[in-house]
Amino acid sequence: GAGVSQSPSNKVTEKGKDVELRCDPISGHTALYWYRQSLGQGLEFLIYFQGNSAPDKSGLPSDRFSAERTGGSVSTLTIQRTQQEDSAVYLCASSQQGGANTGELFFGEGSRLTVL
Amino acid sequence: AQSVAQPEDQVNVAEGNPLTVKCTYSVSGNPYLFWYVQYPNRGLQFLLKYITGDNLVKGSYGFEAEFNKSQTSFHLKKPSALVSDSALYFCAVRDVNTNAGKSTFGDGTTLTVKP
């Protein structure tokens, strides 16, 4: 597709369940970011993948959160044993960095997670 | 470490008046600077960027931003605000000298334009 695709767009789950959120970045983009945004608030950085480098996991709030990026393309964010405070919109973004590329981010529409 | 400060959580202006949304940054090398906008119930989208050259850059929807190296600022401006400009605005920085470095975002500023 032409843009960053995220699925599901909405997810309602019960406290304690695991969830997986998927991000399909723009083809050829080497960098991929995950952010969390509570209603109308700022962006909370979660994790950053760049090429084959080790991911920057410094923003993950707890060990219940993990993410992987397979084959340098699709990424999955996994939240284990969800808690109500995990309810938020999870945003994925990709960019082309390196060389002459300036690295502006292209965002998906987000996955809205509600933990009951 | 790089950082971005958006000192105002909220900016209110009347339609037709000029608007400014402030941003200052800190980066060890030379900066790439960006503004992004998030309209209500919409995704984040790129608005404009400063890479090099002219300190005044123009972007979408009539917005512009001025890079000031001495003040380490990149304020977003528009000569005449529209009600439809009401949105959440984010400033971001990347270090040019760190080729694969990540973008760092400010906390965002909510712009409200009243008729």
pLDDT at A10: 97
Is the minimum CB–CB distance between B102 and chain A shorter than 8 Å? yes
Of A40 and B64, which is predicted with more confidence? B64
Q: How far off is chain B from A18, nearest CA to CA, in Å? A: 25
Mean pLDDT, chain B, rounded, equals 93
Q: How confident is the model at residue A52 (pLDDT cuts 50, 70, 90)?
A: confident
Amino acid identity for residue A104 in this structure: E
Cα–Cα distance, B87 to B84 (Å, whole number) = 8
pLDDT of A71-114, one tens digit each? 879 999 999 999 999 999 999 999 987 666 778 999 999 999 99
Indicate yes or no: CB of B103 within 8 angstroms of CB of A33: yes
Select from A53, A104, A106 the Cβ nearest to the Cβ of B100: A53
Nearest neighbour of B44 by CB, restricted to A31, A99, A107: A107
> In the predicted model, is pLDDT for residue B82 greater than 80?
yes
pLDDT per residue over B14-31, tens digit each? Answer: 999 999 999 999 998 889
Q: How confident is the model over B61-78, as a mean pLDDT?
A: 96
The pLDDT of residue A45: 93
Across A36-40, B50-54, B69-73, B98-102, the highest mean pLDDT is recorded for B69-73
> Using a CB-CB distance cutoff of 8 angstroms, which residues of chain B are in contact with residue A111?
none
Mean pLDDT of all residues in B67-79: 96
A60: pLDDT strictly greater than 90 = yes
How confident is the model at residue A1, as a pLDDT? 54
Suggest the residue from B102, B107, B109 to mutate for an interface test with chain A (most A CBs closer than 10 A).
Answer: B102
CA distances from A49 to A37, A76, B17, B87 (A): 19, 12, 41, 28
pLDDT of residue A32: 94
Task: Give the integer Cα–Cα distance in Å for A68 and A109.
Answer: 20
The residue in chain B having the minimum alpha-carbon distance to the alpha carbon of residue A51 is B100
Interface test with B, best of A32, A43, A45 (most B CBs within 10 A): A43
pLDDT at res. B99: 58
Residue B89 in contact with partner chain A when CB distance is under 8 A: no
- Rounded-to-integer distance, Cα B76 and Cα B34, Å: 10
Distance from CA of B91 to the nearest CA of A (A): 11
Within 10 A of A29 (CB to CB), how many other CB atoms are there?
A: 19
A106–chain B nearest CA distance, Å: 7
Phi/psi for A76 (5° steps) reads -125, 130
Q: Is the CB of A31 less than 8 angstroms away from the CB of B102?
A: yes
